[in-house]
Chains A and B, each alone.
Chain A
Amino acid sequence: DAKTTQPPSMDCAEGRAANLPCNHSTISGNEYVYWYRQIHSQGPQYIIHGLKNNETNEMASLIITEDRKSSTLILPHATLRDTAVYYCIVRSSSNTGKLIFGQGTTLQVKP
């Protein structure tokens, strides 16, 4: 599975969009991009995933560049409850299902 690179920390003002970047320059054609978040030592929570096209659900949007070497998770209207560590994970569709977590980005949403 491809390795990912994320900034260690980011701040965002409450009510504004939070844009969390992820680089995965060695991603291959059958690998998906997943995002999870972990709020204060709770179990990680799935947010969204995608292969090539941009994806949106009730929690967030995922923008994947055309060359698929990077992506951005967008929380459109961040709230204080979105303060968490966000993990970007690249995983093959034939993968055994195991997730390989890096250190993620700590997002601090400020009033």
Chain B
Amino acid sequence: DADVTQTPRNRITKTGKRIMLECSQTKGHDRMYWYRQDPGLGLRLIYYSFDVKDINKGEISDGYSVSRQAQAKFSLSLESAIPNQTALYFCATSVGSGRGEQFFGPGTRLTVL
């Protein structure tokens, strides 16, 4: 079984809808991250969390919110989806050290019409 899972893997929604993307991990890592990727570009950080009580904004947090329900779960919400949020979304985890490698999930492809 995969260590970092994301649901759903694909989602098509309409402008104005609320969407939640979920990430779960079995690696026991404290740190979790949400990135988005637009076609032909590298990943950009949306939010990150160092433990259950810690939430931090990344480069592009506007229009998004997150919830760290447990060490193993980190959810990303789009309160009112808009077309320019159409992208590939990745969740990642890492150990507590700032030097640790990050382990990425398989991604969620979101299309907002």
Q: Which residues of A contact B (CB under 8 A)?
A: 32, 34, 41-46, 49, 87, 91-104
Nearest-neighbour CB distance to chain A for B89, whole angstroms, equals 10
Tell whether A102 pairs with B42 under 8 Å between CB atoms, given A43-B90, A44-B90, A97-B102.
yes
9 A-B pairs with C-beta separation under 8 A: A43-B4, A43-B105, A44-B90, A49-B101, A91-B99, A93-B98, A97-B48, A98-B45, A101-B42
Nearest-neighbour CB distance to chain B for A4, whole angstroms, equals 10
- When the two chains form the complex, which single residue of A42, A91, A92, A93 contacts B106, counting CB atoms closer than 8 Å? A42
Nearest-neighbour CB distance to chain B for A106, whole angstroms, equals 10
Q: Which residues of B contact A (CB under 8 A)?
A: 4, 31, 33, 35, 40-45, 48, 50, 56, 58, 88, 90, 92, 94, 98-107
Nearest-neighbour CB distance to chain B for A49, whole angstroms, equals 7
Query: Number of residue pairs across A and B with beta carbons under 8 Å?
Result: 61
In the complex, what residues of B have CB within 8 A of residue A101's CB?
35, 42-44
In the complex, what residues of A have CB within 8 A of residue B88's CB?
41
How many Å lie between the Cα of A5 and that of B68 in the bound state? Answer: 35
Q: Give 5 new A-B contacts, CB below 8 A, not counting A43-B104, A43-B105, A98-B48.
A: A44-B92, A87-B42, A97-B98, A98-B33, A101-B42
How many Å lie between the Cα of A43 and that of B48 in the bound state? Answer: 17
Considering only CB atoms, which chain A residue lies closest to B48 in the complex? A98
Query: Which one of B31, B44, B98 has the highest number of Cβ atoms from chain A below 10 Å of its Cβ?
Result: B98
Going nearest first, the 9 A-B pairs with the smallest beta carbon separation are A43-B104, A101-B42, A46-B101, A101-B43, A95-B98, A98-B45, A44-B104, A97-B98, A102-B42
How many Å lie between the Cα of A91 and that of B43 in the bound state? Answer: 15
- Do residues B98 and A96 form an inter-chain contact, with CB atoms below 8 A? yes
In the complex, what residues of A have CB within 8 A of residue B35's CB?
101
